[in-house]
Chains A and B, each alone.
Chain A
């Protein structure tokens, strides 16, 4: 019991470290990237004096560390600051977008998991070149389409021809939850297609290599049913890398929506992030990046925990099993 609390505390500590680390890296990146937020805010019409005055007003003329620590202080007191270009509180701006992106990525994740795991296991049966080529072809085609292209195909096919949703007309959660979710589903579909193909490939590859291992052959030669060996041993052992892969996918999904969000007109976090980076709207970018870091750590932790439940040898936490030789 004590150990669990310890592990949880450690995880929370690591989470904080990651968030601070990533916020620092982002801050530093903005220091190096060319482009001046004050000039971007004021546009071409403003005079140099106006730009300098605004820089002062925003506190951009303070030194790097002073700015970073004041941001950090604000962050820990729950104040994410004001957006430069919108002149509004950052949290008010991103909360609805976060909500949408969470839906989008969770939906997408569910589609990926629900489709690819059965498909991966089922597809393992087609091992011969001739039996396998249709699967490989479809799989590869799905992997080869860039997201913007999938977005256009899905909008055109499901939106304009079949009219399951109206591209460019996202109703918004306040207005129409069902309609919004339906719209999001197609966004999630675009996000999922290449990832399903990758997960299937990954799973199939590990299942096959696991099936060829000595213990499986022994088990089967001892008269065990092939299916039960698959379910009882092979899947369990293959799951480790698949779970890692899915964890990684889950981590990437929130930020990966940019292109799909742009094509389908979904007001999500990814699109907002890119726009804010372009505007050099640091407070917004900082906040989104910290949220992404939180999400990444969460996904990684989940994957680790599930993996450790599957295979107790993987307990890295204690460090006792490390190779101290």
Chain B
């Protein structure tokens, strides 16, 4: 009585709404087409291309294109290459090309079988049976065996080394396996279980050199790494799926924004993602195309709901009325970005409630009267803590200070480095407000909403609302997808109505590609898939 559920469009995934007519997401939501036409930036390129460089850039390009190679510029170094320990979003983003789980995401937001050829879910939702795909090989040439699967899952679920554990796998009760199939039994049903399995990458059992010589099953295999300098990947010839197009991909680390632009201009780099509009303006039009996707994160002025004066809902609402989202997007992001009104972004179309975006329309008078009602007729002083190495967040905070001044709130920015931010703001919750972006690394809405439960460990905003906690508990128990969706939508509404945070936008992801490079695919999670890229 088991029902085949894959390949299937999983409930939690975002259907691509080419037809949905989502008016607020003009071209910015990832589209279902595997090769969205790179879109030119609307920004005016007022200066002509520096002609003297065009010729030599052209030669360089063709050289690399002829060799079918690619160089990608990235703004931060990788941390650990061991899939059990990598935590930096930037590392996961690239190593997506090297590692795969039993299942993997598609650009449309579905979860499809990868190292497993078939996934079967039992009717009670308590057990999942994965069939090992025939002929999958590791990059070291060895075939993937059941031992490897069991080892890979157990390492992330039930290992001595707590740093390797994936919290989302804790619902596993026990594993059973024979030569061909692995059955995972859960202690309680979970709609998000496959999303968790997706992030438990399959690695060779007992292999200990992942740090220096990572071995996975993905379309690219690791060649070399030089810390703070570069990472080289090569096409894996024995890949089980659609092989990648480009032979060799080098990732060059250049922390400096201007360094990246210079690298593109000089011909050293072919592709840079996550650029600002100010950076893309510097590139000459003929040599590059700018593709626009979305970062799939909720950028907001997150408020410490336990801290005065933000423990008063009226104050939080006043802030929401005071902040003009579009002004933030226009001034700090040159107009690129999709305004948001709650902890959900348009890629998760099923859950995304667009009407919440305009719940608070910018209204200075209303904000002032709410403040007066709350006992702050003359405003108050507040600090916005921002991670100083993230220029977009610093710029957002700069605009916010200006917008809040209009209603009499004197905000000051407190730039701190990332480690301090993690420690003081995220762990110790010792802050008043902060600008950051919250994302979902496993394509589930749960990840975005669960963190606002009173007792959730990573509820860094200290949001505490009885109604919310009740709906959340209900939603997490719910196995019926449609009902769960309704409950998630109710949670979003709760966050908006109680003005948990001042929601701003889903930031745009601008990617510069050298002319002739096509096939860029945007995913609803933070990954850069180089396997679909090709030179014309």
Contact = CB atoms under 8 A, between A and B. Distances in A.
Contacts of A41: 79, 85, 87, 163
A97 to B, nearest CB: 7
A167 B263 contact: yes
A51 to B, nearest CB: 7
Interface string A77-91: 000000001111000
Contacts, number: 166
Contacts of B416: 34
Contact of B228 (A57, A155, A161, A272): A272
A56 to B, nearest CB: 9
A53 interface: yes
B263 A39 contact: no
A86 B79 contact: yes
Given A88-B212, A168-B254, A262-B256, A49 B419 contact: no
A172 B252 CA distance: 12
B87 A278 contact: no
A86 B162 contact: no
Given A152-B262, A168-B254, A265-B259, A34 B424 contact: yes
A35 interface: yes
A87 B457 contact: no
B254 A265 contact: yes
Contact of B427 (A45, A51, A275): A51
B423 interface: yes
Interface in A272-294: 272, 275, 278-280
A159 B255 CA distance: 18
A85 B87 CA distance: 10
B389 interface: yes
A73 interface: no
A73 B232 CA distance: 37
B165 interface: yes
Contacts of A170: 229
Contacts of A169: 71, 252, 263, 266-269
Interface string A18-37: 00000000000000011111
Interface stretch (B48-56, B472-480, B488-496, B509-517): B48-56
Contact of A168 (B56, B82, B85, B263): B263
A37 B458 CA distance: 18
Interface string B157-175: 0000111010100000000
A54 B427 contact: no
B417 interface: yes
A279 B419 contact: yes
A277 to B, nearest CB: 8
A45 B87 contact: yes
B390 interface: no
Interface residues of B, number: 57
A144 interface: no
Interface in B38-75: 50, 52-53, 56, 60, 71, 73
A280 B56 CA distance: 42
A44 interface: yes
Interface in A254-309: 262-265, 267, 271-272, 275, 278-280
A271 B255 contact: yes
Given A43-B88, A44-B458, A271-B228, A159 B422 contact: no
B77 interface: yes
A96 interface: yes
Interface in A151-207: 152, 155-156, 159-161, 163, 166-170, 172
A47 B169 CA distance: 13
A39 B423 contact: yes
A263 B165 contact: no
B130 to A, nearest CB: 24
B1 interface: no
Contact of B87 (A46, A152, A167): A46
A225 interface: no
A176 to B, nearest CB: 14
B417 A172 contact: no
A42 B263 CA distance: 31
Contacts of B256: 148, 262-263, 265
Contact of B259 (A37, A49, A263, A280): A263
A155, A163, A167: residue with the most chain B Cβ atoms closer than 10 Å: A167
Contacts of B50: 160-161
B418 interface: yes
B211 A87 contact: yes
B511 to A, nearest CB: 17
B211 A88 contact: yes
A54 to B, nearest CB: 5
B227 A50 contact: no
Contacts of A33: 420
B434 interface: no
Interface in B247-261: 252-256, 258-260
Nearest to B57: A160
A177 to B, nearest CB: 15
A155 B261 CA distance: 11
Given A88-B211, A168-B260, A267-B228, 9 more contacts: A35-B424, A40-B418, A48-B427, A86-B79, A88-B227, A148-B256, A160-B50, A265-B256, A267-B229
Interface of A: 33-37, 39-51, 53-54, 57, 85-88, 93, 96-97, 148, 152, 155-156, 159-161, 163, 166-170, 172, 262-265, 267, 271-272, 275, 278-280
Q: Which 7 A-B pairs give the minimum distances between C-beta atoms?
A: A168-B263, A35-B419, A169-B268, A43-B87, A267-B229, A168-B268, A53-B162
Interface of B: 50, 52-53, 56, 60, 71, 73, 77, 79-80, 82, 85, 87-89, 161-163, 165, 167, 211-212, 226-230, 252-256, 258-260, 262-269, 389, 416-420, 422-424, 426-427, 441, 457-458
17 contacts: A35-B417, A40-B423, A43-B87, A48-B457, A50-B165, A86-B211, A87-B85, A161-B52, A166-B60, A167-B263, A168-B259, A168-B269, A263-B258, A264-B259, A267-B226, A267-B227, A272-B227
